[in-house]
A and B are shown apart, each in its own frame.
Chain A
Amino acid sequence: MAIRLRGLSKSFGQVEAVAGVDLEIGDGEFFSMLGPSGSGKTTVLRMIAGFEAPTAGTVELAGQDVTRLAPFERDVNTVFQDYALFPHMSVEQNVAYGLKIRRVPKAERAERAREALASVQLADFGKRRPAQLSGGQRQRVALARALVNRPKVLLLDEPLGALDLKLREQMQVELKALQREVGITFVFVTHDQVEALTMSDRIAVFNRGRIEQVGTPAEVYERPATPFVAGFVGTSNLLTDEGGTYSIRPEKIRLLDEEAPAGTGDDLRTVTGTVAEVVYRGDSTRFLVALDEGGRLTALQQNHETSSEEVAAYRGTRIRLQWHRRHNVIVTTPESPEAPEAPETESTCV
């Protein structure tokens, strides 16, 4: 077990940032902590690193209680959100900083720093200052600076947040490959669900200082445990009927013309409505449909044959939606006292 958190809590004055988190992260796992800003995920990361002392609870690294240890006494390294490179040092000096402090001999230090920079494709940039690098390059230096120390655990605090989309997608793939290669436990904090789903072995979804669900990307996406998870991870369509409240993912829904012959059977659910809005996204189109029975559903269609002009013509037309009942994810049953809570997330869609 690389990391074990028990009853971890942190209050800043009156504000309870983390409210009792229990978590176990295995060796060599790529573990993501996903949640909106202010959900406590970064605070948990900072408590693992040792930058914040918990108000209650313990942090164990490799079976050893490190709750009271300073950051420099813990065998973890951090990649910071804005990289935190030392501006007065060259790239090489930045990377070698941790080794220098550990009194690694000069020759070995230079060799390892060179290797680390090569592993992030920055072999020729050692003499430069951080200010002379682009955002993506700085990000890689920060990664090399942390990895060169061969920590047991690497903590990454929204490391890709400042990069543009193309670079971010590229870095996601590279990070995952790097993690497989070095076999170190990665704890990755992000508010981007796609990022978490793409890269992680397991995901913990945070909300208001608590963990709502821990599971593999497929578990979290296909079987969200709470309305919050259903809404935050992917776009959720919440529907209520006699069976309770359930969520259906937009890509599971088929769009049919009102007159077209529809499949029948108990395993199919069919509803009718009017297309309220059409959002063309290049590779796909999102249809926002106002249902006759009340409520709204979002349906996603791949643009196999349709073009933007064609999909725009759908606005205001009558339409039929159909999906397999097995894709329904029950989030609350009628007996459940808690009212379904659909978070307002019009963010990145899956």
Chain B
Amino acid sequence: MNDTFGRRIAGMLHRRPRLRLSLLLSAPLLWLVLAYLGSLAALFLSAFWTTDPFTSDVVKSWSPDNFRTLLTTSVYRDVALRSLAVAVAVTVIDAVIAFPIAFYTARVASPRYRHLLVVAILTPLWASYLVKAYAWRIMLSEGGPLDWLLKPLGLHGPGYGLPAVIMVLAYLWLPYMILPIHAGLEQLPANLLDASADLGARTWRTFRSVVLPMVFPSIAAGSVFTFSLSLGDYIAVQIVGGKTQLIGNLVYSNITLDLPLAAALGTVPVAIIVLYLLAVRRSGALAAI
């Protein structure tokens, strides 16, 4: 009895592909619209509210004041530009470090060893973000391990500050860059490299004309992670950034004081990331994700 009922339902669903699809997607779509787009819309709306300077209460009246403040106050402009520069620097550093590692894991290492290496690359992602950031705080501390290591060379570590933030963020997001490049290089057919050499190209030329253009979508995919994660970060900068201010920690520090301003600040990285994604999309790289 039960069985035939189940079969009837299955048969009905089989004959109605639209119903099948809507049943499949309704729950995730509901979540996406309510929780994801909804919260983004709420953020954007609240950026137009203001805060009463005396009571610190949110006044729900429409005004573009917050955005005007952002654009006219040099501090905010500087912080936005600095955050952008950090995100770009982290992305470039990660791409430069990730490429040789990914090349080794994807094309040089023996298949058995390859799996171990991929696991090794993933392992740091299992450790808590805070633990890793604090580990770097110790590394970078005055007279800490990094200073001690560099001492024989007559150098000292960067201490806390902007360079430390870039270093730590580059360290934190590196796996997100290695994995897509590894996947891209793994899919690169070996005979394309043979063909390039056969047609007279030396190693560097093959890299430039064949390897790089073909794994560019993977690099772009990795950069979406490193770029957006760096732009939104507010913890590493508090731990190793010294007095450095980025958009993330400005938002964080304003949330309790001036929520509408924090919301307006929060739309800045969103806007930058949207612009970045559009640029990446234009390059044709998102087709690979």
B214 and A101 contact, CB distance less than 8 A:
no
Per-residue contact bits, chain B 152-184, to A (CB 8 Å; 1 contact, 0 not): 000000000000000000000000000000000
Residue from A80, A87, A145 in contact with B191 in the complex, judged by beta carbons closer than 8 Å = A80
In the bound assembly, the distance between CA atoms of A102 and B189 in angstroms comes to 24
Cβ of B200: which chain A residues have Cβ within 8 Å of it?
72, 98, 101-102, 149
Segment touching A, from B6-14, B71-79, B202-210, B222-230: B202-210
A84 at the B interface (CB under 8 A):
yes
For residues 90 through 111 of chain A, which have their beta carbon under 8 Å from a beta carbon of chain B? 97-98, 101-102
A80 and B205 contact, CB distance less than 8 A:
no
The B interface is mostly helix, strand or loop, or mixed, namely helix
B201 and A86 contact, CB distance less than 8 A:
no
B191 and A88 contact, CB distance less than 8 A:
no
Cβ of A49: which chain B residues have Cβ within 8 Å of it?
194, 198
A100 to chain B, nearest CB (A): 8
B213 and A101 contact, CB distance less than 8 A:
no
B213 and A88 contact, CB distance less than 8 A:
yes
Cβ of B213: which chain A residues have Cβ within 8 Å of it?
88
Residue of B nearest to A81 (CB): B191
Cβ of B209: which chain A residues have Cβ within 8 Å of it?
97
B34 at the A interface (CB under 8 A):
no
Cβ of B191: which chain A residues have Cβ within 8 Å of it?
80-82, 84
B274 at the A interface (CB under 8 A):
no
A78 at the B interface (CB under 8 A):
yes
B194 and A71 contact, CB distance less than 8 A:
yes
In the bound assembly, the distance between CA atoms of A146 and B195 in angstroms comes to 9
Residue of B nearest to A142 (CB): B195
Count of chain B residues near A, Cβ 8 A: 17
For residues 134 through 156 of chain A, which have their beta carbon under 8 Å from a beta carbon of chain B? 145-146, 149
Residue from B195, B202, B205 in contact with A86 in the complex, judged by beta carbons closer than 8 Å = B195
A262 at the B interface (CB under 8 A):
no
A145 and B199 contact, CB distance less than 8 A:
yes
B41 at the A interface (CB under 8 A):
no
B192 and A86 contact, CB distance less than 8 A:
yes
A72 and B195 contact, CB distance less than 8 A:
no
In the bound assembly, the distance between CA atoms of A18 and B127 in angstroms comes to 50
* CB within 8 Å for A149 and B195 given contacts A84-B189, A88-B213: no
A70 at the B interface (CB under 8 A):
yes
Residue from B189, B195, B201, B210 in contact with A78 in the complex, judged by beta carbons closer than 8 Å = B195
Residue of A nearest to B201 (CB): A101
A218 to chain B, nearest CB (A): 33
A235 at the B interface (CB under 8 A):
no
A77 at the B interface (CB under 8 A):
yes
A84 and B197 contact, CB distance less than 8 A:
no
In the bound assembly, the distance between CA atoms of A110 and B130 in angstroms comes to 58
In the bound assembly, the distance between CA atoms of A262 and B198 in angstroms comes to 61
In the bound assembly, the distance between CA atoms of A84 and B198 in angstroms comes to 11
Q: List 5 A-B contacts (CB under 8 A).
A: A86-B210, A97-B199, A97-B201, A101-B200, A146-B198
Q: A71-B194, A71-B197, A86-B210 are in contact. List 15 more A-B contacts (CB 8 A).
A: A50-B198, A71-B198, A77-B198, A77-B199, A78-B194, A78-B198, A80-B195, A84-B191, A85-B195, A86-B195, A86-B196, A87-B214, A101-B200, A146-B198, A149-B200
**4 tightest CB-CB pairs across the interface, nearest first?**
A98-B199, A84-B195, A71-B197, A84-B191
Name B residues whose Cβ lies closer than 8 Å to a Cβ of A: 189, 191-192, 194-202, 205, 209-210, 213-214
